[in-house]
Every structure is written in structure tokens, then in C-alpha cells.
Amino acid sequence: MQLIIQPDGLSRCLYSEELPLHVLGPLSIQRASHVEPTTDGQWTADLSPVQGPLLGPFGSRSEALQAERRWLEQHWLNTDR
């Protein structure tokens, strides 16, 4: 798990339960994307909540989730905000 702590003390990460984040203080958890099925049974990852693209379609939900994580790690998590 990558936990980015900015100079102003704000932190960001891709949420998981690997670390008990609540011990750091009050949390503000927000969605970075929406992984949803399409009408024809494919899957997409909509990253518009973080001004990102619509990824896909993918043949499975797990493929969409992997693409979502890769995009967030490359374009959202490790950038100055």
C-alpha cells in the first residue's frame, strides 16, 4: 500500500484494509472511480471523479479493477495535488 503524505499533512492512498488508517486521525474517504458493467456484459472503469478517462471495455470485472488501480497509481496517487 502506498500512503502519500503531503507537506501540508494531508495524505492520500488507494484505500485498502492493509493499514488501520483511522489511527492517523479523522478520515475523508472519496470514490476515485466507478467500476460498472455495460449493457453487453463488459466492464468499464470510469475515473471521472478524479478527472480521468473511461477505461475499457474489459471482459471481466477483475480486469477493470486492475486497470483502475494502474491508472490511479500512475496518474493520481503520485502527483502533486
Of 10, 57, 52, the C-alpha closest to 31 is 52
The pLDDT confidence band at residue 63, using thresholds 50, 70 and 90, is very high
Please give the Cα distance from 65 to 10 (Å, whole number): 26
Q: Which helix (H) or strand (E) holds 71?
A: helix 61-72
Is the overall model pTM greater than 0.95, yes or no? no
Domain ranges within the chain, ordered by starting residue: 32-81
* Residue 74, SS3 per DSSP: helix
Question: 36-61 pLDDT, tens per residue?
Answer: 999 999 999 999 999 999 999 999 99
Backbone angles phi, psi at 76, to 5 degrees: -125, -50
